[in-house]
Amino acid sequence: MQPTATFFSGFTLNDLWFLGEAALKSMWISILAITFGSAMGVVFGWLLSVSRRAGALTLAPVLDVFRSVPLIIQLVLFFNFAPMIGLRLNPFEAGLIVLVVYTSANVATVAQAGIEAVGGPMRRAARSLGMSYWQDMRYVVWPIGLRAVFPAWIGVALGVMKDSALVSVLGYVELLKASQILITRTQETFLILAIAGAFYFALSYPISHYAARLEKRWTQ
Amino acid sequence: MDYNFHWKPVIKALPELLEASLLTLQVAAISIVFGIVIGLGLALIRLHMTGPVKWLASAWVELARNTPALFQLFFFGFGLGSFGLHLSPYMIVLLALSFNNAGYLAENFRGGFGAVPETQIRASRSLGMTAFQAYTRIVIPQVLRIVYLPITNQMVWAVLISSLGMLVGFRELSGETQFFASKTFRIFEYFAVTAVIYYVIVKLILGASRLLAVRLFRY
């Protein structure tokens, strides 16, 4: 009698390791995207706040495009566009670039709101105390503006963390892609999806509640 | 750059793409209606009830807000499939979007209800209104005014995440685009046009909502 071939095997401890590794990849691309995207976004937000007319006519519509087109379309477009201009990018690099630009577009509005939350009189007071423009920015606008928009920034950052799941369409094996691979082999859809969901939840839930608490405390 | 753009197949497929974008709008609009109704319910439950019902409502809201939309889509697609519940791609996208919308809108509604002073309810009750009347005639109109902008944003968000439908085989705008793109290998051209269509849809929604706001609330 011939041994029957088995294509599917159950969920093992090794697979949990595989999922954990993929979760780290998800976190890594999110951390990079949030860090660089936020830095760029703050610069854009500052540009928007200082160049009211010119910025509203040039930079704002460009950033708006990245907020009005689905991220998945942006990913596919850029991944297919990069080779045309001679860029050889792997899925991680292409995904990271798109996520950074997407993050910066979202952070720009938050940063602009933060800078504008600091009242004109306060800034004139800082200048008349002898502070330079950058000192005013560093010691007056930054601490007050940050306080005003920090919860909103957390919201953007968590959104990017969740949206990083979309990089899987380019073939980057992050958490959700890894869980799909495992589902194909083990056929234990529910269990594996639940593990993947629990991971995102465990990361996002405490941070969003911390932000909500902070917001409540700061608005009092 | 030595790439030759071929826009002709895209132009030829444009009627189909526009028709598919109607499907995108349709599924987003229906899911928003579900989202508003369920979100209202969830917010009221979380405000007024205790015990397992409140616990369930809270779980819904937190799950919808703290997991990726793509995960939710996979869950309604493949997760329910493992229980023998096989839904059509349309239903998968509709349910996942409604689930997501309801979770996000519930939080907005909760904030909206918090903004209407308790004294108004007592005043309307003392004028002889039933609790139901007080809610539907005094509280909810004010709440709707507060949550109007968040609902608009959620509608835009619903259109954007309906694009994930292409990953579960739903032929809305993105799915249709992918279908044509994989037939002709003109991936960039097709998705570029689709990006433009999405941009126009989003701008149309925002414009329509502004017009509606003028009529509804006389802003």
Interface test with A, best of B4, B63, B70, B161 (most A CBs within 10 A): B70
A43-75: pLDDT as tens digits:
999 999 988 788 788 889 999 999 999 999 999
CATH number at residue B193: 1.10.3720.10
Domain assignment present for B175: yes
According to CATH, what is the number of the domain A31-166?
1.10.3720.10
Query: Which residues of chain A does B174 touch, with a Cβ-Cβ cutoff of 8 Å?
Result: 70, 72-73
Given a contact cutoff of 8 angstroms between Cβ atoms, the answer to whether A64 and A108 are in contact is no
B8-62: pLDDT as tens digits:
888 888 898 999 999 999 999 999 999 999 999 999 999 888 889 999 999 999 9
Domain assignment present for B196: yes
Q: Do residue A77 and residue B191 have CB atoms under 8 angstroms apart? A: yes
A132-176: pLDDT as tens digits:
999 999 999 999 999 889 989 999 999 999 999 999 989 899 899
Domain assignment present for B2: no
A24-42: pLDDT as tens digits:
999 999 999 999 999 999 9
Interface test with A, best of B61, B67, B75, B159 (most A CBs within 10 A): B67
Please give the pLDDT value at position B1: 67
The enclosing H or E element of A111 equals helix A91-117
Residue B127, min C-alpha distance to chain A (Å): 34
C-alpha B82/C-alpha B88 separation (Å) is 14
How many other CB atoms are there within 10 angstroms of residue A120's CB atom? Answer: 8
- Name, in order, each residue with C-beta under 8 angstroms of B191's C-beta and a sequence gap of 6 or more: A73, A76, A77, A80, B177, B181
Domain assignment present for B193: yes
Given a contact cutoff of 8 angstroms between Cβ atoms, the answer to whether A130 and A183 are in contact is no
Interface test with A, best of B164, B191, B194 (most A CBs within 10 A): B191
Percent of all residues in chain A with a pLDDT value above 90, rounded to a whole number: 60
Domain assignment present for B22: yes
| Domain boundaries along the sequence of chain A | 31-166
Host domain of residue B46: 8-217
Q: How confident is the model at residue B94 (pLDDT cuts 50, 70, 90)?
A: very high
Count of structural domains within chain B: 1
Domain assignment present for B157: yes
Mean pLDDT of chain B: 90
For chain B, say whether A185 makes contact (Cβ under 8 Å).
no
Domain assignment present for B26: yes
Domain assignment present for B165: yes
What is the phi/psi pair of residue B60, to 5°?
-60, -50
For chain A, say whether B83 makes contact (Cβ under 8 Å).
yes
A80-116: pLDDT as tens digits:
998 888 888 899 999 999 999 999 999 999 999 999 9
Q: Do residue A162 and residue B69 have CB atoms under 8 angstroms apart? A: yes
pLDDT higher than 60, residue A217 = yes
Query: Which residues of chain B does A163 touch, with a Cβ-Cβ cutoff of 8 Å?
Result: 68
Q: Cα(first)–Cα(last) distance of chain A, in Å?
A: 77
